[in-house]
Amino acid sequence: MTRIKLTVLTLVLLTSFNVFSQEEEKEEKKFSFSGSVDTYFRTNLNAPNDENAVAPGSSFANLPGFALGMVNLIGAYEGEKVGFVADLVFGPRGEDAVFASPFYNANGSSNIVNQLYAYWNVSDKVKITLGNFNTFLGYEVISPTANFNYSTSYLFSYGPFSHTGIKADFTLSEKASLMLAVMNPTDATEFNPTGNYAIGAQLGYSGQFLNFISDSGAFEIDFTGGFDVTDSFYLGINAAHFDNDGTGFTGFALYPQLATSDSFKIGLRGEYFKESGSFGAIGTGVIDSSVFATTLTANYTVGDLTIIPEIRLDSSSDDFTIDTSLSPQSSLSSFLLAAVYKF
């Protein structure tokens, strides 16, 4: 009898431990911690690489020699109804991404916050998000883990990076979606310094997105999408127009990418970017300048590490940089080798 009681007690304990372990496992799955680390080497092929070093006017990957990207740490809780994301960045790329958050005080107290938001799944078809979130415009993003090219385009660099506000995502059908947002003025990610608000919208269908933002008279309309031409060949597309009282830009970029194996891909970014008025993105100092930028990039993946060699040629309608003798020139060619680790 004692042996039977002991056996039953053992089975009860094992069952209880198993149920507890499963519940604990379910709880652990709700909270996640992820991120990335990236670093690179960059050199100009037809321009100085010393104290006179120059780089394209686009964001990130602009430092000479061996340089640092950023550390990205993301904590997230995903519940059935509610959740949050806390996305922190450290390093030169991270500071460029958040502009050192200058609005709150001189020290930039929030200069490590890339995203910070909470959300509520009101239903299967409606999601409300409140806080600071990365922009819905454009093909490229801040994190290098989600971009094929390591250096970034002009279209990405001169659109908004992040917004602070409230947005509602609606699932209209299996293929269609709609997002509506009310946000602080562009780049005011810590608080609203003006009392004015921007409005944004996104209409999506089968992976193609039409985006719009209006901010104190300025507006940007943007198309982002892509197609799997074959199982191994993908074509990404981005086009945008920005206007602020006659000053702005218009641009178009194609992203053909070919996967030759599970671990190796090669791709090209061809971008045309034209300024309206004295927008100043290209750096020519001339009104209505334009630039054509071609970037040839390879991705070689080893586990969670991606090695990215890249050759880039920026050719402008006007002089925007200098050659090795410090004379003005209208083209800049460079080589870059990056390492991006995702965890």
pLDDT bucket at 99, cuts 50 / 70 / 90 = confident
Q: Does residue 17 register a pLDDT over 70?
A: no
Tell me if 67 is assigned to some domain.
Answer: yes
Helix (H) or strand (E) holding 187: none
* Domain total in the chain: 1
Query: How do residues 148-207 score in pLDDT, each as one tens digit?
Result: 999 999 999 999 999 999 999 999 999 999 999 999 999 899 899 999 999 999 999 999
Tell me if 304 is assigned to some domain.
Answer: yes
21 against 170, higher pLDDT: 170
Contact 297, 266 (CB under 8 A): yes
- CATH number (domain holding residue 279): 2.40.160.10
pLDDT bucket at 226, cuts 50 / 70 / 90 = very high
Task: Provide the 10 A C-beta neighbour count for residue 33.
Answer: 9
Tell me if 2 is assigned to some domain.
Answer: no
Tell me if 27 is assigned to some domain.
Answer: no
Tell me if 175 is assigned to some domain.
Answer: yes
Q: Does residue 271 register a pLDDT over 80?
A: yes
Tell me if 81 is assigned to some domain.
Answer: yes
Rounded CA separation 52/43 (Å): 12
Task: Find the domain containing 202 and state its range.
Answer: 32-342
DSSP calls for 11-77: HHHHHHHHHHHHHHHHHHHHEEEEEEEEEEEEEESSS--STT----SSSSS--SEEEEEEEEEEEEE
Q: Does residue 9 register a pLDDT over 70?
A: no
Tell me what the mean pLDDT of segment 92-109 comes to: 73
Give the rounded percent of residues in the chain with a pLDDT score beyond 70. Answer: 88
The DSSP bridge partners found for residue 226 are 236
Tell me what the mean pLDDT of segment 20-35 comes to: 68
Tell me if 16 is assigned to some domain.
Answer: no
pLDDT bucket at 18, cuts 50 / 70 / 90 = low
Tell me if 280 is assigned to some domain.
Answer: yes
